[in-house]
Amino acid sequence: MSTPHEDYPEDEFDVAGRDRTPQGVHRGPRPLLRTLLPILAVIVLAPLLAWGAISLLGGSGEPGPSAATTAAQDTAAPTAGATDGTTGEAPAEGTTEGAEPTSEAPTEEAPTEEETTEEPAGQVEYGTAIAVLNGAGVNGLAGEVVGTLASEGFTGGVADDYTSGAPATTTLYYNNPELQATAEEVARVLGIGNVVESSSATQAIAIVLRSDFQG
pLDDT tens digits, residue range 97-125?
Answer: 555 555 555 555 654 545 544 544 579 99
Q: List CB contacts of 97: < 8 A, sequence separation 6 or more.
A: 80, 83, 84, 91
Using one digit for the tens of pLDDT, what is the confidence trace for 69-91? 444 455 444 444 444 444 444 44
141: pLDDT strictly greater than 50: yes
* CB neighbours of residue 21 within 10 Å: 5
Q: Name the residue with higher pLDDT: 51 or 148.
A: 148
